[in-house]
């Protein structure tokens, strides 16, 4: 733990094309080995692919996809008297957003399309349509929290 309090949060610089910080977050998550221009090209192409499939604006398509896969609740392990319980907890807005972006990119990488732009674009389109790996992950997280609702009194 730092002695001088928490480190200050660095502001996220909006992307060049849309001027949106969410797009920057996705670009940074897609980026590998510091190749930001490659990641930008992938994300912009993926947004165009998803917009073509859904018939929406590219930026709205990305924002709707992330909104669809943001979890409202999650379970955290809590040890009480030798037993470990999965305690459902509400998720903060920042964590909801970061989990949504992380799951979108993670499940895009697992898809079998030819290019990363196609994978990400199709995952975004699937998320808007409430299917796909990232949406299933959110659904599974909500189901897990619902199943362990009895342990919510262990919340801290």
The answer to whether residue 22 scores a pLDDT higher than 90 is yes
Instruction: Please give the share of the chain, as a percent, with pLDDT higher than 90.
Output: 79
For residue 79, is pLDDT > 90?
Answer: no
Which is more confident, 96 or 150? 96
Among 18-22, 48-52, 83-87, name the one with the lowest average pLDDT. Answer: 83-87
Per DSSP, 16 falls in state: T
The secondary structure element, H or E, covering residue 86 is strand 83-90
Is residue 147 situated within a structural domain? no
Number of domains within the chain: 1
Which tens digit of pLDDT belongs to each residue from 125-151?
Answer: 999 999 999 999 999 999 999 988 887
Is residue 41 a part of any domain in this protein? Answer: yes
> What is this structure's pTM?
0.91
CATH code at position 99? 1.10.455.10
Phi and psi at residue 62, to the nearest 5°: -65, -45
Residue 149 lies in a domain: no
Mutual orientation of helices 36-54 and 21-30 as an angle, nearest 10°? 120
Mean pLDDT of 25-32: 96
Residue 128 domain-assigned (yes or no): yes
pLDDT of residue 81: 85
Query: What integer pLDDT is reported at residue 1 of this predicted model?
Result: 66
- Specify the length of the chain in residues: 156
Q: What is the pLDDT of residues 30-74, one digit of tens each?
A: 999 999 999 999 999 999 999 999 988 999 999 999 999 999 999
Q: How far apart are CA 100 and CA 120, in angstroms?
A: 13
139 φ/ψ angles, rounded to the nearest 5 degrees: -60, -40
Q: Does pLDDT of 92 surpass 70? A: yes
For residue 80, pLDDT beyond 70: yes
Note down the domain range covering 47.
21-72+91-132
Flag whether pLDDT at 77 surpasses 70: yes
| pLDDT for res 2 | 76
């Amino acid at each position: 733990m730092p002695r001088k309090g928490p480190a200050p949060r660095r502001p996220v610089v909006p992307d060049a094309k849309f001027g949106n910080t969410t797009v920057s977050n996705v670009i940074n998550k897609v980026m590998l080995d510091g190749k930001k221009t490659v990641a930008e090209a992938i994300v912009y192409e993926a947004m165009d692919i998803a917009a073509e499939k859904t018939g929406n604006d590219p930026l709205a398509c990305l924002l709707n996809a992330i909104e669809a896969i943001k979890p409202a609740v999650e379970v955290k392990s809590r040890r009480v008297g030798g037993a470990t319980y999965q305690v459902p907890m509400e998720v903060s807005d920042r964590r909801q957003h970061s989990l949504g972006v992380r799951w979108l990119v993670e499940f895009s990488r697992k898809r079998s399309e030819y290019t990363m732009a196609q994978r990400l674009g199709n995952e975004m389109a699937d998320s808007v349509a409430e299917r796909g790996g990232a949406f299933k992950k959110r659904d599974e997280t909500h189901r897990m929290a619902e199943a362990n609702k009895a342990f919510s009194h262990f919340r801290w």
